[in-house]
Each structure stands twice: as C-alpha cells, then as structure tokens.
Chains A and B, each alone.
Chain A
Amino acid sequence: MTDTLLTAADAGLLSCHSCNLLTEVQTGAHPGAHEEQHCPRCGSQLHMRKPDSLARTWALVIAAFICYIPANLLPMTLVTSLGNVQEDTIMSGVIYFLQHGEWPIGLVILIASIVVPLTKLFILIYLLISVQRKSQWRPVERTRLYRVTEAIGRWSMTDIYVVTILVALVQLGNLASIEAGIGAIFFGAVVVLTILAAMTFDPREIWDNMESTNDR
C-alpha cells in the first residue's frame, strides 16, 4: 500500500467529499441501472468524480466571462457631489486612485477586481483544456494552480463591499451621495460564478490521465 500508487478509484472505493469516509462501490442487483449511492456516515451523495465536472465548469466559466464584460463597461458607482453626478467603472476608479497618488488602494482594487477574476478564469480554462487533451505534463503544478484558483476567488468581493460601505455612509442628498451602479450586479455575478466554477472542477481528473496504462 505504501509502495504502490493506488487510488481510491483503482480500489473500487468512493471517497465522501464531506466526511472523507471510503465506501465500496455497490455493484447493484440491476447492472446498468443508475443507482445513487450515499455515504453511510453523513448521507452525502457519493460520486467517483464530481458529476459532469468538465461540462459544468466550462458553462460557469463562459457565463462568468459574459458577465465580466458588462461588469467592466457599466458603472459600479454613481457619485453625486454638489449636484454633479459622476459614473465610475472599475477601471476609472483604479485610474483615479493611481492619478491621485493613492497607488496602494488603486493596486488593491486592480488586483481584486481585474487581476484575480481574470487569472482565475484563465487558469480554469487552461486546466479544462489540459484535462480534455489528457495532458500528462506537470500534474503537481497543475494541482497547485487549482488550489490557487480556489483560494483567491473570494478576494474579488472586495469591490462589492467597498460599494456597499460607500452607499451606506455617503447619504447627504445633493451635497454628497453614492449609489450602486448596474455594473456592481454583474460583477457580483462574476465573483459567484467563478467560485462555483472552481467548486465544480475536479482536480482528480488531472491525475486520472496519469495512469494511462490502467484500463479505464
């Protein structure tokens, strides 16, 4: 056991995603019938691999890309100051900070709102293509890339929270008030869709391609 590389799938075992219990695959009395198997300990539905992982992840990634366009083109905030209304998109906010010498904050928004979502989407696309092409190249590094996408996604929410706080605080009518723009809704959708995309991708698929000698 400690010398050979045996996976749960090779051993005919299902690993529970919720409580880690291993259960033997039931070869049901009716072969071919799609019987759902549940974890005897916690009741989660068991799967050898996350179901339709590639198709679902592709769908969520494409949906996130589509939402990313209006998220960047439409205003995140509408700022009223002494009667003038100014619309700010993600990019115009970043440029404003960089021009006014507030580069650390400009950088935070640039990273959270532009670098993180795009990096995450491109990494997922790369992983999807590499799995579909049955790539055997550097599985450890590709698994690490997956771990990165899982960890960074949540930080994209920063700008949504900034808008929430501004809306709550700056409510002085015509003197100064801030309203959330339509872009914020699309940006929120991008964040949720990319988090879901990372959840539906199954990193074990990267490793399934490594055992091409096994009949599968």
Chain B
Amino acid sequence: MIDTSNLIACHECDLLHRIPEREGARCVSRCRRCNAMLHRGVENSVDRTLALTFAGLILFIVANSYPFLAFKLQGQETQSTLISGVFGLYNEGKWEIALLVLLTTIVVPLMQLLLQLYIYLPLRFNRVPWLLARVARFAGSLQPWSMMEVFMIGIIVAIVKLVGMAQIVPGLALWSFALLILILAAAAANMDPRVVWDQVEYPR
C-alpha cells in the first residue's frame, strides 16, 4: 500500500509530486519536469470567491437586462441586448450558432456563478453542500465553455465595424460586461479546488 494522500500527479506529464504544505499565503506549485501548474493556493479562497460570485451575479443581471449597444441611422434606431442577438440568429434559421452563442455567453457563465454560490456559500458557514462532489465536478467541466471575455472582443470589433456606417451608442450593459469579465477572471484566479475537495467524504 502506498500512501497516496500526500501525492499529486502532474496532469500533463504524469510525474508524481508531494503536495506542498499549505502555507496559507498565495503560492503556485509547478511540475518540476514539464512546468505545468500543479496547484495554486489562495489565502481566504472561500471568502474571496464568494464575494466575487455575488458581484458577478449582480453584474450578470444588469448586463443581460439592458441594451449594450444602440444603432442609429437616418432617424431609425435599433437596440441590442445579448439575448436579442441570439433570437436574431434563431429567427434567421441559424439555430446552431444561436445555440452556441446562448450556451457560451449566457447559460454557462450563469450556471458557473450559481454553482459557485451553491458550493461556496455553505462552505463559508462550515457546512458541506448536498452532492458537493457531483456539483464541483460538473462546475469544473463547464470552465472551457464560458467565453465572456471573447464576446467582449467581439463587441469591440463590431463597434469599429459599424462606426463608419451609423451612429453607435454604448449602453449600460456594455460597462457591466466589461466589469463582469474582470470579476469572472478574478473569481477563477481565487478559487482553490483543493479547499473544496478536502470537504468531500469518501471511503479510503
């Protein structure tokens, strides 16, 4: 029997490492063979993640409730919210792209925020949420499909594209978007998966 409780395998080259002692402070450990990140320790990870998740949820609601751009041409005006773009594509029969945009910019980011709330709020009060292992696993698998920051680049490109054609008015949601992206990035950087996994009971 090997004692595996203090070991971790690099997920990129499979090399075994001893898990570094938790120092509390912010520390990043890397694989000594391939330099992949093994683990990032964050001080007060639960508090920080929870605070950023609340901020993210508020910004998410604002970002999706107001138009982010208005387009004015010869006295006519159209406004666009995130969801109206999805409906636009759907109504043209491009449901494949509509679905892709809906998932990557609305459904997945919202689910991530809600699942973070579900995981970290009870942990903050020293309770273990129901089905923690399942929820944490599912939340982790969503990560590659949240693409808010790419959408922001899309907005910038679209603005430059349309500026010569008509008058473009940025809306309230645009600023919420910009802030939301920063908040999401900060939340991702402050999560310490080990804090969550340590709470899961399993047969040893």
Contact yes or no, B166 A176, CB < 8 A: yes
Q: List 30 A-B contacts (CB under 8 A).
A: A7-B14, A13-B4, A15-B8, A18-B140, A19-B136, A20-B11, A21-B197, A42-B197, A108-B153, A140-B35, A143-B12, A155-B153, A158-B150, A161-B154, A161-B158, A162-B161, A164-B154, A165-B158, A166-B158, A167-B92, A169-B71, A169-B162, A170-B78, A170-B165, A172-B76, A172-B78, A176-B165, A176-B166, A184-B94, A203-B13
Give B residues with C-beta under 8 Å from A.
Answer: 1-2, 4, 7-9, 11-16, 18, 33-36, 69-71, 73-74, 76, 78, 80-81, 84-86, 88-89, 92, 94, 96-97, 100-101, 104-105, 133-134, 136-137, 140-141, 144, 147, 150-151, 153-155, 157-158, 160-162, 164-166, 193-194, 197, 200, 202-204
Q: Which residues of B contact A158 (CB under 8 A)?
A: 150, 153-154, 157
Contact yes or no, B158 A169, CB < 8 A: yes
Q: Which residues of B contact A184 (CB under 8 A)?
A: 94, 97
Q: Which residues of A contact B70 (CB under 8 A)?
A: 169
Contact yes or no, A147 B36, CB < 8 A: yes
Q: Which residues of B contact A189 (CB under 8 A)?
A: 96
**Chain A nearest CB: distance from B67 CB in Å?**
9
Instruction: Give the top 3 A-B pairs by smallest Cβ distance, nearest first.
Output: A161-B154, A168-B85, A8-B9
- 16 more A-B contacts (CB under 8 A) besides A19-B193, A104-B160, A167-B85? A7-B14, A13-B9, A40-B204, A144-B35, A155-B153, A161-B158, A164-B86, A165-B154, A167-B88, A172-B76, A176-B165, A180-B94, A185-B94, A204-B13, A207-B13, A207-B34
Q: Which residues of B contact A5 (CB under 8 A)?
A: 15, 33
A78 to B147, CA, bound (A): 25
Contact yes or no, B162 A19, CB < 8 A: no
A167 to B155, CA, bound (A): 12
Q: Which residues of B contact A169 (CB under 8 A)?
A: 69-71, 78, 80, 158, 162
Contact yes or no, A165 B80, CB < 8 A: yes
